[in-house]
Chains A and B, each alone.
Chain A
Amino acid sequence: MSRKKSEEEYRKTAEFHFKQWLEGEQDPLLGQVEMKPQVLTEETEEEKAQRIRERDAQRERLYVRSSNRGVKRFQFLYHVCTPLFCFLIIAVLLLAVSYLPPEGGSGNPASNEVAERYLEQGLEETGAVNAVSGMILNYRAFDTFGETNVLYIATCCVMILLLMEGEQVRKKIDQNDRAFEPKNDVILQTVAGILVPIIFLFGIYVMLNGHLGPGGGFAGGAVMGAGLILYVSAYGTKKTQRFFNEKVYTAIKVAALCIYGTLMIYFFYTGANGLDNHIPLGVPGTILSAGLILPINVLVGLEVACTMYAFYALFRRGDI
């Protein structure tokens, strides 16, 4: 049975809102999003001229270009020689490349017993369906451990450069947090609320699936790091720090790398001394297989996710 809706009931329906929005009577963002008006800086001609004068004067002070003939000569020489030099290098390299064995030829020196064993016996020896994972995490495990340490030391280096010290500075950043992030942006928060779990799931899938198909710790970790970055952009640092602060960050990073290092030492020691390492390879193709590759992928993934997030956080506010 149909009946007429009252005015009040009608005002609550989606159709009404849609119509309103369509006709431009209602702004969906009004009262929902905190927005900071942009300050327009207007510059008069005079100020602009003043600015250019100051800049030129500063350059003059630094390089003394007009009176210093050496600098002038150097700049001229630089502009002439740089392209010449670059073209020379390009020519030499192209020449050298043209003499290299043809790409992908079967008689190439690179198609030798090394690649053959990786491809033909890789599955049997490492248990990994993905030959690349088997190669980087089992055959050449030491290189990959070094590479993970490169990521670690890169974050430490960024910390040296950007980490803010002292309570005063930190307080100032917290007060001024608005400058770095739009707060309570409904669109961003809604989308992030839907996307972040999916991104995380996908990251974990890629990470755990490294020995079975394309993926692995580096890729999966990067995806998870992107998820964390999206979360912090949408919800702000305070909410993120409830579950991911500096302590958690340090704990995850140190634990992951330490376990990784311990596994590696065990692997090297047993391998070099010809001992049995008692690590079951499992049935190739199942999730729990390929020996050390799965745990290492997880550890590498954690480290990479931490690194990605730390870079973002440090560049944004000098703090994790």
Chain B
Amino acid sequence: MLDFVQNFPCFSIVSCMFAGIISSALKGKGAKILNLGVLLAVTVMSALTLGYVMDLGESYIYVMGTFSAPWGNELRVGVLEAAMALFFCVIMLLSLMGGQQKLQEEVEEGKQKLYYIMVDLLMSSLLALIYTNDMFTAYVFVEINTISACGLIMIRQWGRTIEAATRYMIMSLLGSGLLLMGLVFLYGLTGHLLMSNIHQGVVHIVEQGEYHIPLMVAIALMCTGLAIKSALFPFHSWLPDAYGYSTVASSAILSSLVSKGYIFLLIKIIYRVIGFDVIQQSKIINVLFVFGLAGMIMGSLSAIKESNIRRMIAFSSVAQIGYIYMGIGLGTEAGMTASVFHVLSHAVTKSMLFIAASGLLQASGDSTDFFDLTGAGFRNKTAGAAFTVGSLSMVGFPMFCGFTSKLLFARAAVDGSWKMLPALIVLAVSTLLNAIYFMKTVIRIYTPLREPAREKRFRKIGIGEQPMNFVALICFILLNVVLGLGAEPLVALLNNGLKMFA
């Protein structure tokens, strides 16, 4: 008999699914309330699970059904998983809160419940990706994740979002296909689908020196598939349209959660399925490192050229994903910790930036012209403040979480291998490029507008007008500062979690 708390991971996955299913019998408002309730419940359950696992000091296995693995499915819950689940829930709640008003304006009345169905099932798939210990279960939930992300993009019925959703669908399905092919290879080589058993098989065949080529191809296929799905540099063409034109809650969720779910799966594959040593020897990690570096530069360059700020923020995501892959590519424990921390810090900052940018755009007559943003920080004060905090965090200003993650990356890079110099140089250049486009925008929104004729077109947006938006942005700012100032215990927690993870 398990402790009751140990059931919570399973309950949180299934309750999100239930919410999604029941929502289709409800009206838009009911679906919204149900969604809110389930997200709160899952947040509480994840927090309790986190506390429990921290006390326990090791990860535990939860058998899904009567038969234990390798015959049945199982979940594996450790500190890192529980922390991620808690964090993802909080970000999801805040993103929905901040994007709610826009959602009501942009989505047809009858289709709002469909939006919440998508969100519920997306959340369940993210939780399942976090907790599962079975590669095939992971693949099934990757499918749910892909389809619901498409739904989130095209819920705002507009030519551009339909086009973006199509592009996302094609790229993402290509990624799923590659992941599945890699999985098939691994199954052929080891005869298992369960992560721990695949790992044993892989260790065995590496010791025997057999099947070297198929194993490498399998690792390459899975890494490429997940890189496409999380928009690593050369595969990022779907990203700017998908993030730039969908409704703002979707952009926040997609940039901060969906791509991060795939990255988390990749980290899981590296640690638990293939094994860190095998990956390190395989040199495939160096490829990820190089593309991560390229992404850091190219993403920022594209962002500088962009004049639509939502697309600009989207391109900045490409650069930030590059940081994460660079950290993974370092191939050290410290690099991995930095990457996991950056997953958190980027998720907090990017979703805040998207919501703040939407507020600023609203105060500038929803214009896509960069110069119409002049003085927008005065017209919508909360959004202006949040955008400034987000920009400072992205650039790496001390006190905010972006600084901590940059520090961790720099510290991880100093390990004396050949990767040290390129990593440090690119980190510096990328920070500079970040500063160019983010500071440019911050200066623009705080430049007083001296053209009365133009000013008349824009309206001021007070706090009282959008209370939910205000609360969400304040929470985001606080979370950002907390992550920035209280990084030490969090990093210790993540380190601990990564040790349990393998």
Whether the Cβ atoms of A109 and B147 lie closer than 8 Å is no
Interface-centre pick from B11, B144, B201 (highest chain A CB count, 10 A)? B144
Interface 9-mer from A9-17, A29-37, A189-197, A263-271: A263-271
Q: Does A60 make an interface contact (CB < 8 A)?
A: no
Interface-centre pick from B1, B21, B22, B110 (highest chain A CB count, 10 A)? B21
Which parts of A122-150 form the interface with B (CB within 8 Å)? 125, 138-143, 145-147, 149-150
Q: Does B468 make an interface contact (CB < 8 A)?
A: no
Select one of B25, B66, B109, B128 contacting A267, CB under 8 A: B66
Shortest CB distance B480–A (Å): 32
Whether the Cβ atoms of A143 and B189 lie closer than 8 Å is no
Whether the Cβ atoms of B143 and A150 lie closer than 8 Å is yes
- B188's closest neighbor in chain A, by CB? A100
- B110's closest neighbor in chain A, by CB? A165
Interface residues of chain B: helix, strand, loop or mixed (majority): helix
Whether the Cβ atoms of A110 and B111 lie closer than 8 Å is no
Q: Does B303 make an interface contact (CB < 8 A)?
A: no
Select one of B2, B64, B151, B201 contacting A153, CB under 8 A: B151
Q: In whole angstroms, what is the CA distance A156 to B113 when docked?
A: 10
Q: Does A108 make an interface contact (CB < 8 A)?
A: yes
Whether the Cβ atoms of A141 and B147 lie closer than 8 Å is no
* Chain B interface, number of residues (Cβ within 8 angstroms): 63
Q: Does A82 make an interface contact (CB < 8 A)?
A: no
Shortest CB distance B11–A (Å): 8
Cβ–Cβ < 8 Å partners of A274 in chain B: 1-2
Whether the Cβ atoms of B154 and A161 lie closer than 8 Å is yes
Q: In whole angstroms, what is the CA distance A250 to B72 when docked?
A: 32
Mask: chain B, 130-169; 1 = CB below 8 Å from A; 0 = not: 0000101100110110011011001100000010000000
Q: Does A92 make an interface contact (CB < 8 A)?
A: yes
Which parts of B66-84 form the interface with A (CB within 8 Å)? 66-67, 70-73
Q: Does A257 make an interface contact (CB < 8 A)?
A: yes
Whether the Cβ atoms of B192 and A139 lie closer than 8 Å is no
Q: Does A117 make an interface contact (CB < 8 A)?
A: yes
Select one of B10, B151, B191 contacting A108, CB under 8 A: B191
Shortest CB distance A243–B (Å): 19
Cβ–Cβ < 8 Å partners of A140 in chain B: 72-73, 136
Q: In whole angstroms, what is the CA distance A269 to B7 when docked?
A: 7
Which parts of B1-54 form the interface with A (CB within 8 Å)? 1-2, 6-7, 10-11, 14, 17-18, 20-22, 24-25
Cβ–Cβ < 8 Å partners of A40 in chain B: none
Interface-centre pick from B14, B22, B66, B211 (highest chain A CB count, 10 A)? B66
Whether the Cβ atoms of A150 and B140 lie closer than 8 Å is yes
Whether the Cβ atoms of A156 and B66 lie closer than 8 Å is no
Cβ–Cβ < 8 Å partners of B71 in chain A: 114, 117-118, 139
Cβ–Cβ < 8 Å partners of A157 in chain B: 118, 147-148, 150-151
Q: In whole angstroms, what is the CA distance A100 to B218 when docked?
A: 11
Select one of B6, B128, B162, B211 contacting A146, CB under 8 A: B128
User: Can you show 16 pairs from A to B with CB atoms below 8 A apart?
Assistant: A101-B211, A108-B188, A109-B188, A110-B188, A138-B67, A146-B140, A149-B20, A153-B118, A160-B118, A161-B162, A163-B111, A268-B14, A271-B63, A271-B65, A271-B66, A272-B63
Chain A interface (Cβ < 8 Å from any Cβ of B): 92-93, 95-97, 99-101, 108-115, 117-118, 125, 138-143, 145-147, 149-150, 152-154, 156-157, 159-161, 163, 165, 250-251, 253-254, 257-258, 261, 264-265, 267-275, 277
Chain B interface (Cβ < 8 Å from any Cβ of A): 1-2, 6-7, 10-11, 14, 17-18, 20-22, 24-25, 62-67, 70-73, 108-111, 114, 117-118, 121, 124, 128, 134, 136-137, 140-141, 143-144, 147-148, 150-151, 154-155, 162, 181, 185, 187-192, 201, 205, 211, 213-214, 217-218
The 7 A-B pairs at the shortest CB distance, nearest first, are namely: A96-B217, A109-B191, A146-B140, A110-B191, A142-B73, A271-B66, A271-B65
